[in-house]
Amino acid sequence: MSSAHEHEHEHDSLRRVGEIALALPEATRVDIEAWDGEPTFRVRGKNFVFANPQGSQLTVKLPKDEAAAVVAAEPDAKPAGYGLGRHGWVSLTVSPEATDDRWDQIAEWIRISYTSSLPGAWPASSTQPTDGRPSTRRRHPLGCSSSITRV
């Protein structure tokens, strides 16, 4: 039986996942009613994070070689179900006692999943250097545009 204190941590986990995911350009949250309101985070209609309502279970998309390394090295990681694991999707368990270092790693996986799932070009606001010179390489997005939708 879980305590109210555990539920606070689980809810806090989903809040943290949302803060990380929704800080990325064009990211949106869509709660899937058919899945009992389970939240997903998307960019341009493509999922980049699946979560349970507490945020204690996450699924992210990583490059296949990195996904294999994470699954091999992380006791709380496994290939995602429904055949998604063969495409680099990894399911992670987030402990209520996760440290700041662990959250930094989770944030990095969410950002990698975002970039792996991003269809087409980077958002225009994230490709220009701050000094106004044209960019010669793609830069990690830092802007934010987010919303929550129920379907």
Residue 29: predicted pLDDT: 95
| Amino acid in position 22 | L
* C-alpha 125, offset from chain centre: 20
122-150 mean pLDDT: 41
Average pLDDT of the chain? 78
Query: Is 111 inside any structural domain?
Result: yes
Record the pTM.
Answer: 0.73
Reading the block at residue 10, the tokens are 């689980």
In CATH, what number is assigned to the domain containing residue 77? 3.90.1150.30
Closest CA to 46 of 56, 35, 57, 61: 61
Query: Is 131 inside any structural domain?
Result: no
Give every CB contact of residue 105 below 8 A, 6+ residues apart in sequence.
none
Reading the block at residue 32, the tokens are 């899937």
H/E segment holding residue 20: helix 4-22
Number of domains composing the chain: 1
